[in-house]
């Protein structure tokens, strides 16, 4: 999930609670401009802030969808490319 999608999710969850950006900022001990940047997709919260938001919104962390970093994205793309390679032999699970 990209930053702008995460930001939209944060905005939707915040609005569902009836909170202004200032309300969420105060609860998370960040500035309102920080919340604005998250929602605009210009930056993303730290892991601890994701955890706090999930608790505040009453949702699972998966519902907010933490975006993957560049390293994880490259690993996933490399694995996907290998899986489609004609030289690739599918992984077998133990016991099969």
- Give the CATH class of 3-78: mainly alpha
Q: What is the pLDDT of residues 17-68, one digit of tens each?
A: 999 999 999 999 999 999 999 999 999 999 999 999 999 999 998 888 765 5
Per domain, the residue ranges of the chain are 3-78
Give me the residue label for tokens 């920080």. 34
**What are the φ and ψ backbone dihedral angles of 63, each rounded to 5 degrees?**
-70, -25
**pLDDT value of position 20:** 97
pTM value is 0.67
What would the pLDDT profile of 66-82 be if each residue is shown by its tens digit? 655 555 556 556 666 66
pLDDT score at 68:
57
Task: Specify whether the CB–CB gap between 47 and 66 falls below 8 A.
Answer: yes
Neighbour count for residue 57 (Cβ, 10 Å): 19
Among 50, 42, 43, which Cα is nearest to 24's? 50
pLDDT at residue 94, rounded to an integer: 59
Determine how many CB atoms are found less than 10 A away from the CB of residue 56: 16
Contact 64/53 with Cβ under 8 angstroms?
yes
Q: Is it the case that residue 4 has pLDDT exceeding 70? A: yes
Q: How confident is the model at residue 10 (pLDDT cuts 50, 70, 90)?
A: very high
């Amino acid at each position: 999930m990209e930053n702008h999608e995460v930001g939209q999710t944060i905005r939707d969850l915040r609005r569902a609670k009836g909170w202004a950006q200032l309300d969420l900022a105060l609860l998370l001990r960040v500035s309102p401009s920080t919340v604005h940047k998250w929602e605009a997709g210009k930056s993303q919260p730290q892991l601890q802030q994701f955890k706090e938001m999930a608790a505040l919104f009453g949702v699972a962390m998966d519902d907010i969808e933490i975006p993957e970093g560049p390293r994880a994205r490259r690993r996933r793309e490399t694995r996907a490319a290998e899986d489609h390679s004609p030289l690739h032999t599918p992984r077998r699970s133990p016991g099969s």
